[in-house]
Amino acid sequence: MSFEGKVALVTGGSRGIGRVIALKLAEEGSDVIINYFRKKSTAQATCDEIRTKGVKAHAIKANVGEPEKIHSMFDEVVSEFGKLDILINNAASGVARPAMELDDKSWDWTIDINARAFLLCAQRAAKLMPDGGKMISISSLGSRMVMPVYTSVGVSKAALEALTRYLAIELAPQNICVNGVCASAVETEALQLYVNDPNLPRPAWQTTPAGRMVQPEDIANAVIFLCKDESAMIRGQIIVIDGGFSLSPSAFNPEGGSHGP
Amino acid sequence: MTDTSVEETVKQIVIRIVRKPDLNFSPEATFKDFDADSLDIVQILVAVEDHYDIEIDDDELQDVQNMGGFLAYIENKIAEKG
């Protein structure tokens, strides 16, 4: 159990990729705090599952797009656990519209949740982290590749990745490791919001050159590695988890993006 | 019978989020009447949840037609909480 005695906070940790990361951290022995947006019952169910791993679990409701909610969340982290060793910035939202149809409200909503929240969380988390703390941001390929109706999310993820690099250097003297994981389409409920769009190349979403879609466990495995001291000399890097999808010229070909079975 | 305190609280939340101080918050009014888009509605739901410490189920809201129904739903959730 690599993370025994550690405390981790996973934003957006009640479901999808965040939930799987939270469970993996628990399996490694870390106490886990999950932040959730709305569904208390889902968060409680995830907490119950975390506790079966023999660690403490705690759920905090907060829209990380609102600075005051982030501060309340960290006040609760302090009162409940007194410290934080691992921060996983996973919570994300977005408005699926082309650039020409984006209004300022949709833009701010997406940027605030997906990028600014990491800045504000990192500022609070750094004060609670002992030597050897870890911060991991969860990004997506929209940060570097153009996908239909993904404008606001893609741009926010590009900002998130840049912020990850800046934080890595600024927090290096405190021996806090900051890195990111960038995923292609991951098989979660959230993907369904985009899959129904007829403009998207469905076959490409459904597989990769590696022959299958990326699963939440693939992301969680990389996150766990980056949270271990063995990866301490990796700083400010964004690890792409996409089964080779972004390297394949046929990745965005609607007629077939697969080299797999 | 709608609890006036709930009605006033929800009305103020809606006004703050859709930024329409003079909106007509009648029982027959809908979110569409307030020009509330999906982001506004999510923010209204979260604000109501936070204020009353209740959980609003989006699926259950599908049956709610207007503000009268919305207020009744919220009051029911508050009562369930005890």
Domains of chain B with bracketed CATH? 4-81 (1.10.1200.10)
Question: Could you give the CA distance from residue B47 to residue A61 in angstroms, rounded to a whole number?
Answer: 12
Q: Which CATH superfamily is domain A7-247 in?
A: NAD(P)-binding Rossmann-like Domain (3.40.50.720)
Give this complex's ipTM. Answer: 0.81
Residues A145-157: tens digit of each pLDDT: 998 889 999 999 9
* Residue ranges with strand state E in A131-233: 134-140, 177-183
Question: Could you give the CA distance from residue A182 to residue B42 in angstroms, rounded to a whole number?
Answer: 27
> Chain B: residue nearest A60 by CA?
B50
- Is A69 an active-site residue? no
Average pLDDT for residues A206-225, to the nearest whole number?
90
> pTM to 2 decimals?
0.89
> Alpha carbon A254 to chain centroid distance?
27
Residues A122-140: tens digit of each pLDDT: 999 999 998 999 999 999 9
Nearest CA-CA partner of A132 in A235, A207, A53: A235
Cβ contacts (< 8 Å) between B45 and chain A: which residues? 38
CA pseudo-torsion sign B78, B63, B39, A214: positive
Instruction: Output the six-digit token pair for A166.
Output: 């800046």
Cβ contacts (< 8 Å) between A40 and chain B: which residues? 55
Residues A87-130: tens digit of each pLDDT: 999 999 998 899 999 999 999 999 999 999 999 999 999 999 98
Q: For an interface test with B, which of A35, A38, A97, A107 has the most B Cβ atoms less than 10 Å from its Cβ?
A: A38
Q: Give the pLDDT band (50/70/90) at residue B63.
A: confident
Catalytic positions of B are 37
